[in-house]
């Protein structure tokens, strides 16, 4: 494993994105009081955020299943977050094809240590977790290839779940474009992103203030451009049906219907033509 400096040292008193997210999306078993406090405040400001975090996990599973069914046999999950106790994305992919390879990448050392413990326990053939910065596409791709699990000549399922909203407009466009330029045709981008659409701007501003790092919720039109703008400034992806939709509604709304009110996140799956 290549050593990168973690962006934050381990400090239970300072909220960390990966622990706040776990507190919102699942059991929060690794979240400390400071993380739980941020999660609680966010939920007051944007009530849809907790449901959206949970729906995001369901979206990622559905999208990984769809990509696996379309023949993708290797995945790189950027900003993977903590592993889940029940099932992870490689488990879902491997219900389609048992040899599917998965590399999990995060810039938090604590996250990668959790993954390595889990994958070691599973005897991890075809699975790896690497410490790296998703903001450096060449390095991140090199790390994934160095494990011997990602073959640059084959289509890759690149996962950016709830990640690109940490980047300003120019950085997000440049980074997404660089990844997709580097990957071969048929590669897929599995993408979810916080949205400001339909939310009170004052509540969005207050939520940004309490979040542990800079965050840039975007409108659907801005997110669509990040995915579909043609080169050299965009990745020119073709979106699978139903396109860019509420994170609750990909690939289709659940039978019980999507929760009322504006969603906190949008989701899409793009294919490199």
Ligand X SMILES: C[S@@+](CC[C@H](N)C(=O)[O-])C[C@H]1O[C@@H](n2cnc3c(N)ncnc32)[C@H](O)[C@@H]1O
Q: Is 35 in the site for ligand X (CB under 6 A)?
A: no
Specify the residue, 56 or 116, whose C-beta has the smaller distance to ligand X: 56
Q: Is 107 in the site for ligand X (CB under 6 A)?
A: yes
Q: Is 89 in the site for ligand X (CB under 6 A)?
A: no
Alpha-carbon distances, residue 263 vs 233, 237, 247 (angstroms): 28, 23, 7
Are 175 and 144 contacting, i.e. CB atoms less than 8 angstroms apart? no
Q: How far is the CB of 114 from ligand X (least distance, A)?
A: 10
What is the chain's length?
273
Q: How far is the CB of 83 from ligand X (least distance, A)?
A: 10
Specify the residue, 72 or 264, whose C-beta has the smaller distance to ligand X: 264
Specify the residue, 75 or 98, whose C-beta has the smaller distance to ligand X: 75
Alpha carbon distance 35, 24 (integer Å): 10
Q: Which of residues 55-74 bind ligand X (CB under 6 A)?
A: 56-57, 60
Size of the site for ligand X (CB under 6 A): 20
Dmax over Cα atoms in the chain, in whole Å? 49
Specify the residue, 101 or 193, whose C-beta has the smaller distance to ligand X: 193
Are 108 and 8 contacting, i.e. CB atoms less than 8 angstroms apart? yes
Specify the residue, 15 or 161, whose C-beta has the smaller distance to ligand X: 161
Single out the residue of 15, 23, 79, 83 in contact with ligand X (rule: CB under 6 A). 79
Pairing of strands 265-271, 245-246: antiparallel
Specify the residue, 163 or 189, whose C-beta has the smaller distance to ligand X: 163
Long-range pairs, 1-8, Cβ under 8 A, ≥24: 1/112, 1/130, 1/131, 2/130, 2/131, 2/132, 2/143, 2/146, 3/131, 4/107, 4/131, 4/132, 4/133, 6/107, 6/108, 6/109, 6/110, 6/131, 7/107, 7/108, 7/133, 8/108
Single out the residue of 39, 76, 162, 268 in contact with ligand X (rule: CB under 6 A). 162
Q: Is 267 in the site for ligand X (CB under 6 A)?
A: no
Q: Which of residues 164-223 bind ligand X (CB under 6 A)?
A: 166
Binding site for ligand X (CB under 6 A): 17-18, 21, 56-57, 60, 79-81, 106-108, 111, 133-135, 161-163, 166
């Amino acid at each position: 494993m290549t050593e990168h400096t973690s962006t934050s040292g381990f400090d239970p008193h300072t909220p960390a994105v990966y622990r706040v997210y776990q507190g919102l999306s699942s059991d929060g078993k690794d979240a400390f009081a400071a993380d739980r406090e941020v999660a609680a405040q966010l939920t007051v400001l944007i009530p849809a955020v907790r449901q959206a975090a949970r729906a995001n996990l369901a979206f990622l599973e559905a999208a990984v299943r769809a990509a696996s069914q379309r023949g993708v046999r290797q995945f790189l999950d950027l900003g993977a977050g903590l592993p889940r106790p029940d099932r992870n994305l490689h488990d879902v992919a491997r219900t389609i094809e048992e040899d599917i390879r998965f590399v999990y990448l995060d810039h938090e050392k604590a996250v990668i240590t959790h993954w390595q413990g889990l994958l070691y326990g599973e005897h991890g053939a075809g699975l790896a977790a690497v410490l790296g910065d998703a903001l450096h596409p060449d390095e991140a791709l090199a790390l994934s290839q160095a494990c011997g699990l990602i073959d640059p000549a084959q289509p890759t399922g690149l996962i950016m779940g709830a990640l690109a909203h940490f980047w300003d407009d120019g950085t997000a466009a440049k980074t997404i474009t660089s990844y997709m330029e580097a990957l071969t045709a048929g590669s897929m981008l599995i993408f979810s992103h916080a949205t400001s659409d339909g939310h009170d701007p004052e509540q969005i501003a207050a939520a940004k203030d309490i979040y542990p790092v800079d965050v840039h919720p975007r409108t659907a039109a801005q997110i669509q451009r990040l995915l579909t703008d043609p080169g050299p400034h965009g990745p020119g992806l073709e979106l699978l049906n139903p396109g860019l939709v509420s994170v609750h509604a990909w690939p289709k709304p659940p039978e019980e219907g999507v929760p009322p009110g504006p969603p906190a996140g949008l989701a899409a799956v793009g294919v490199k033509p």
